[in-house]
Amino acid sequence: MALQIGDIAPDFEAQTTQGPIRFHEWIEGSWAVLFSHPKNFTPVCTTELGYTARLKPEFDARGVKVIGLSVDTLDNHEPWSRDIEETQGYAPNFPLIADSGRTIAGLYGMIHPNASDTLTVRSVFVIGPDKKVKLTLNYPASTGRNFDEVLRVIDSLQLTARHGVATPVNWKPGEDVIIVPSISDEAAKEKFPDGWTTLKPYLRVVPQPGSR
């Protein structure tokens, strides 16, 4: 069965470009993003890794650790990193897992046999400090991911975890949010003393907590 939202992210030991890790220990109470790459020295992956390296300060500001995975060997990661820096302007500044045995790819369901029985698809897992999977995304090998969207989703996940709200379609930080149906009007008065707008009994809109 595929790894699902709410599941505990499988623990593993791995060799990375920043030394050996045990995944659950490496998370250490932080949020984490684990994302896979079909193969080293491929064009789309090269652009993704460079862009993620450029965004690392944004992940750091949110308390999020980033780690990549490729099914190539560790000795291939260093020369590829040089190519990434040369072509994208940023070298990977986060660990890159060497999963040549495809053990971790198997744990996380990153290989989709009907697409390729040897290479991983472009999987993304956002994992919370409780080590539970909060988000999964899978892209085909031919399509680069939108890491600005990954940051937006993390903003939503962290906000909703703190304040008991949900975010509407196309939400961006600072915009209005939705009070979740499980919070009664009475309880909402305590959480949101400045009030809210009721569009329907199940659709109550309120300014983003902490945005003012």
Catalytic (active site) residue 108: no
Tokens (6 digits) for 9: 């992210």
Ramachandran category for residue 168: left, alpha or beta (phi over 0 → left; psi -120 to 50 → alpha): beta
Instruction: Report how far residue 64's alpha carbon sits from residue 145's, in angstroms, rounded to the nearest whole number.
Output: 18
Residues in the chain: 212
Query: Which residue in 47, 79, 202, 59 sits closest to 126, CA to CA?
Result: 59
Which among 27, 45, 96, 141 is annotated as catalytic? 45
Mapping DSSP onto H, E and C, the string for 58-75 reads: HHHHCCEEEEEEECCCHH
Angle at 101 between CA 48 and CA 78, to 5 degrees: 45
Instruction: Report how far residue 27's alpha carbon sits from residue 63's, in angstroms, rounded to the nearest whole number.
Output: 10
Active site members: 45
